């Protein structure tokens, strides 16, 4: 039996992550770029185990971010999940969709990895983009989104892992 060279072994190496753990961990890392003062969200679009695009929540390019201007939603006491139009920022999923579009990348049959469940606005975009599956780490208070995704037969799975960053 051939012995492996252990000279280059790394002590205390962790087990290799599953593909879901790997892509959800990347979504966690992407969320660190967020400039939202309320919630940091990261999204990764994947097809055939290849990353198509990533996105995080924050203000559009070329405009000041909420960490500079303050949060209008906080000032107006708007609860999470309501009045999405009263926000300077785009959602992580929306930014990932736009990155794919900018580079001419189809999202048909892709899987979305996100640190939280998509809202109703993003759910409608997910359905029309042809995304077939969503893997999330956390829930979000949007029953209508869950119902619409279920009706459109978009598979939603919750993966309970903790960010390691």
Active-site annotation, residues:
93
Distances (CA, A) of 140 to 16, 79, 97, 158, 165: 29, 12, 20, 11, 22
Q: Could you tell me which of 94, 80, 158 has the C-alpha nearest to residue 124?
A: 94
Cα 164 from Cα 28, distance rounded (Å): 8
Q: For the chain, first and last CA: distance in Å?
A: 39
The phi and psi torsions of 151 (rounded to 5 degrees) equal: -60, -40
Beta carbons within 10 angstroms of residue 28's beta carbon = 21
């Amino acid at each position: 039996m051939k012995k492996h060279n252990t000279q280059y072994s790394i002590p205390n190496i962790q087990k290799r992550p599953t593909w879901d753990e790997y892509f959800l961990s990347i979504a966690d890392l992407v969320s660190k770029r967020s400039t939202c003062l309320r919630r940091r969200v990261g999204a990764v679009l994947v097809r055939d185990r290849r990353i198509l695009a990533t996105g995080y929540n924050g203000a559009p390019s070329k405009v000041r971010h909420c960490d500079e201007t303050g949060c209008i939603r906080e000032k107006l006491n708007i609860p999470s999940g309501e009045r999405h139009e009263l926000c300077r920022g785009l959602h992580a999923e929306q930014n990932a969709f736009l990155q794919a579009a900018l580079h001419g990348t189809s999202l048909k049959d892709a899987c979305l990895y996100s640190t939280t469940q998509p809202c109703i606005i993003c759910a409608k975009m997910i359905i029309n983009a042809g995304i077939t599956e969503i893997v999330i780490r956390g829930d979000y208070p949007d029953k209508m989104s869950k119902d619409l995704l279920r009706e459109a037969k978009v598979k939603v799975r919750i993966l309970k892992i903790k960010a390691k960053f």
